[in-house]
Amino acid sequence: MGQLDFIFSRRTPWRLCRHLAFWVSWYLFQVYLYSFTPSPILTKLSFWQRIVVNLGESFWYMLPALFLAYSLNYLVIPKLIITAKYLKAILAVLGLLFLTGGLSALLSLTIVEYFRRQYLIGHPGLLPGVIPTPFSIQLFMAWISGLRGSITIGGLAASIKLMKYFYEKQQEKTVAELQLLKAQLHPHFLFNTLNNIYSHAQDTAPMAAEMLLGLSELLRYMLYSCNAPLVPLKQELQMMQEYIDLEKQRYGNDLEVILQIPAIDPYLQIAPLLILPFIENCFKHGASHMLEKPWINIQLHMAGQTMHLKLINGKAAIAKAESGGIGIANVRRRLDLLYPARSDLQIIAEDEMYIVNLTLELHEPARL
- Per-residue model confidence as pLDDT tens digits over 134-180: 666 777 777 777 777 788 888 888 888 888 888 888 877 777 766 66
Q: Which strand (E) or helix (H) includes residue 298?
A: strand 295-303
Q: What does the pLDDT read at residue 302? A: 93
Q: What is the pLDDT of residue 135?
A: 67
Residue 201 maps to a domain: no
Separation CA 155–CA 149 (nearest Å): 10
The reply to whether 174 and 228 lie within a common domain is no
Q: What is the pLDDT of residue 299?
A: 95
What is the domain count for the chain?
2
| Alpha carbon separation from 93 to 7, 100, 324, 330 (Å, rounded) | 26, 10, 40, 35
Q: The domain containing residue 91 runs over which residues?
A: 3-178
45 shares its domain with 141: yes
Shared domain for 67 and 165, answered yes or no, is yes
In whole angstroms, give the CA distance from residue 68 to residue 150.
Answer: 7
Q: Buried b vs exposed e over 38-63: b needs ≥16 C-beta within 10 Å?
A: beebbeebeeebbeebbebbbebbbb
| Contact between residue 232 and residue 269 where contact means Cβ atoms under 8 Å apart | yes
274 contacts 231 by C-beta, under 8 angstroms? no
Is residue 300 in a domain?
yes
Residue 70: CB partners within 8 Å, gap ≥ 6?
157
Residue 202 lies in a domain: no
Write out the chain's pLDDT in tens, 368 residues. 555 555 666 777 877 888 888 888 888 888 777 766 656 666 666 667 777 777 777 888 888 889 999 999 899 988 888 888 889 999 999 999 889 888 888 887 787 777 766 666 555 444 444 445 666 677 777 777 777 778 888 888 888 888 888 888 887 777 776 666 555 544 444 555 566 566 656 666 666 666 677 777 777 777 666 677 888 999 889 888 888 887 887 777 778 889 999 999 888 999 888 888 888 888 776 565 555 778 889 999 999 899 999 999 887 654 444 445 566 788 888 888 888 888 999 998 887 888 999 999 997 664 43
Nearest to 352 by CA among 293, 277, 276, 279: 293
Q: Dihedral of CA 47/49/54/59: which sign? A: positive
β-strands 295-303, 256-260: how paired? Answer: parallel
- Reported pTM: 0.51
Please indicate, yes or no, whether residues 144 and 8 belong to a single structural domain of this protein: yes
Q: Domain for residue 213, yes or no?
A: no
CATH code, domain with 315: 3.30.565.10
Residue 317 lies inside a defined structural domain of this protein: yes
